Copies of this chain bind each other. A is one copy, B any other.
Amino acid sequence: MTGQAISLLETLLGKAGVLRDAADLVRYAADAAGPGADRPLAVLRPASTEQTAEAVAICAAAGLAMVPQGGRTGLSAGAVPPAGSVVISVERMRGVVALDRDAMTLTAWAGTPLQQIQEEAQRQGLDYPVDIGARGTASIGGTVATNAGGIRVLRHGMTRRHVIGLEVVLADGTILSRMGGLAKDNAGYDLCQPFIGSEGTLGIITRIMLRLCPHEPLSAVALLMVEDHAAALECLAQARIRFGERLSAFEGMWPDYMDAICRTWRLASDPFPGQRGFCVLVELRGRDAAQLDGFDDWLGELLERGLVQDGILARSQEDERRLWALREAVGDVDAPMGPHISFDLSVSLCHLGRFCAACDAALILLPQAGRVIKVGHLRDGNVHLLVAHDGSDKAARLISEAVYDVVRAYRGSVTAEHGVGRIKRDWLAACRDPAELAVMRAIKRALDPQGLMNPGAVID
């Protein structure tokens, strides 16, 4: 049955459309969370929505599990194929199809890299404001399937807010197409929503229509050193009163993070030598210089009041890059840190300080936990907690249990933005009660009764 299905797929998709070489299978068995334990039977690379639909119908008839893949930059193993499955990659469906300046919308194939979308929008004086480190490789389809967050959520929200149309192939090969580009449409259930953030478990997204926003080319950036969370939150409140929606980033770097990247590992130069504090990266964005006025006065006032202990205001784009490099150094910690777990937690903003202290306390009680560093999107209550360990499964499990117990106690989320994938699936119950899990399963069964779409991801 499987052999027959694969040969039907080869006929349908042609030589370029089906990869079966061992080296290819290894490559497509991994995402940014690491290599998978199993190899897919084949990698299908359809070139259109219709081809995807036909390929899915063949797989469904043969009972073959399917794992949708974009740029494989996910951090939760959501695109890692289990044994006996086929990968369906959207990489050959690539390119911007249309950009409507008046309506401020952009239509693209799912395999288009995020960065290409950002650049094509900017060429028209517009912007697609979702931004993540993996922008050059991540596919727009993958960012929609995982409801990507990133550094500008404070100002622009998650990916969900920007999606106004989707074309999706369902688990039985049916094509669901909402690409009419309507700004307002309350004619029945919004059928884009279930697929945004579903991590490929309900269907395969092939085309996307996005809402763009005006491009804001100018920025102002400062690094603040404050006493603690409470002072950081007071700075946030002040910044919001003063700059409103001009505020585009408010990133937190805990003292343990600053120590690690500046002193221990020297991944970036120390902005405040000899001082140890909680650092906040503040960014404003605007269309013209007047919109950014008053930033240095504001910083001066905070220093004078003693709310900020020290501060650095970027005077040039080079300065801005240097300050952002502190935040982005988190991407370089894998090698110096050694084996570690990277948590992607969120809690209500008012609990963030105590929550982080509780995680620290739970981890210091655990001999298996090594160095802990914390960095994150402060405004969003989203902290990336990285915990080193000895590389053993036991240490990883004990650390996860300890951290997720704190998440449960503070009613947080086990994943703020990276998604559940396969890595966090068994921890979902730390932040979802049985009623919620039952509704998720009911939705899954309704749209994928055979359970063939990305099995093992998100829910069991």
Q: Which residues of A contact B (CB under 8 A)?
A: 100-104, 125, 146-147, 149, 153, 157-158, 160-161, 170, 174-178, 180-191, 193-194, 196-198, 213-214, 233, 236-237, 240-241, 244-245, 287, 290, 346-350, 377, 379-382, 411-420, 424, 428, 431-433, 435-440, 442-443, 445-447, 458-459
Contact = CB atoms under 8 A, between A and B. Distances in A.
B214 A245 contact: yes
A204 to B, nearest CB: 14
Given A180-B411, A185-B413, A346-B184, A193 B191 contact: no
Contact of A178 (B101, B160, B436): B436
Contacts of A157: 161
Contacts of A233: 102
Point out which of A174, A237, A348, A431 has the most chain B C-beta atoms below 10 A from its C-beta. A348
Contacts of A174: 435, 438
A210 to B, nearest CB: 14
Contacts of A191: 436, 439-440
> How many copies of the shown chain assemble into the complex?
2
A231 to B, nearest CB: 13
Nearest to A444: B189
A292 to B, nearest CB: 13
A418 B417 CA distance: 33
A214 B240 contact: yes
B184 A417 contact: yes
Contacts of A436: 176, 178, 188, 191
A379 B105 CA distance: 13
B446 A176 contact: no
A443 B440 contact: no
Given A194-B443, A436-B188, A445-B446, A182 B149 contact: no
Contacts of A241: 125, 214
7 contacts: A101-B237, A174-B435, A185-B346, A187-B413, A187-B428, A189-B197, A214-B240
Contacts of A147: 186, 190
Contacts of A377: 184
A189 B198 contact: yes
A186 B416 CA distance: 5
Which of A170, A193, A290 has the most B CB atoms < 10 Å from its CB? A193
Given A180-B412, A213-B245, A290-B290, 5 more contacts: A103-B348, A153-B184, A180-B348, A184-B416, A190-B193
Given A100-B350, A439-B447, A440-B191, A413 B181 contact: no
Lowest 8 A-B CB distances belong to which pairs? A446-B446, A193-B193, A184-B416, A185-B413, A442-B446, A181-B348, A183-B380, A103-B349
A187 B432 contact: yes
Given A237-B102, A347-B182, A431 B187 contact: yes
